[in-house]
Amino acid sequence: MTVVVFSIGNPGPSNRHSVGHQALAQLSSHAKQLTKHKLYSSVVDSDGTVFARSGSYMNESQRAFDAMIKDNRINLAHDAIFVVFDDFELALGKVRLAEFKKNESHNGVKCIHHWLQQQGLDHNVYKLGIGIGPKPQNASKDTMAAWVLSDFKPEEKLRLKEEVWPKLHQALEAIGDGESINCQAITKQIN
């Protein structure tokens, strides 16, 4: 079984909406530099884990995901895939591993989930949400968009470094070979 860690976010500046890419950089820091492909970048580490970064905008994440799956010959019925994203419903400092649900609110996750459903598959694919909240109270669509596209404050960047990145490494260790994944237990263990 292959374990795939796939980050989604917008290309360009590292802001809240692209924290998934920042997380992938931390998780794959021990591996070689990512190789650029047309729609994504990827690297395979020494134990066979595939780390891939979407090169498309959040709302088009399924295009990069599709290309990565096909190029790496990922078996969706057998391999374990983890989509790393910014979770505005989760407080900064928290990490959550979960299965996909019917009504996803995050557009990038929604795109990938829809793509998976079109393939007739949605098992062995999990979400690894990185808390960027709390989100602004009663935020309009424009206010919310501006907030997720804003940069982290220096103290928030420090929390990512000191709290979140170690939790992500713990999550990856707990996932192991991807054979038996208990999302709730792993989330509880790392938080």
pLDDT, tens digit only, all 191 positions of the chain: 899 999 999 987 789 999 999 999 999 988 877 899 999 999 999 888 999 999 999 999 999 999 999 999 998 888 899 999 999 999 999 999 998 877 777 889 889 989 988 988 767 889 999 999 998 888 888 998 899 999 999 999 999 999 999 999 999 999 887 778 999 999 999 99
- Cα(first)–Cα(last) distance of the chain, in Å? 27
CATH number at residue 97: 3.40.50.1470
Measure the CA angle with vertex 121, ends 118 and 124; round to 5°: 145
pLDDT for position 176 = 83
Distant-in-sequence, close-in-space partners of 153: CB < 8 Å, separation ≥ 6: none
Instruction: Enumerate long-range contacts of 172-178, CB under 8 Å, 24 or more apart.
Output: 172/5, 172/27, 172/49, 175/3, 175/80, 175/82, 175/97, 177/1, 177/3, 178/1, 178/2, 178/3, 178/79, 178/80, 178/124
Q: 0.85 cut: is pTM over it?
A: yes
What is the domain count for the chain?
A: 1
Nearest CA among 32, 86, 77 for reference residue 54: 86
* Residue-number span of the structural domain to which 30 is assigned: 3-190
100, 110 in Cβ contact below 8 A?
A: no
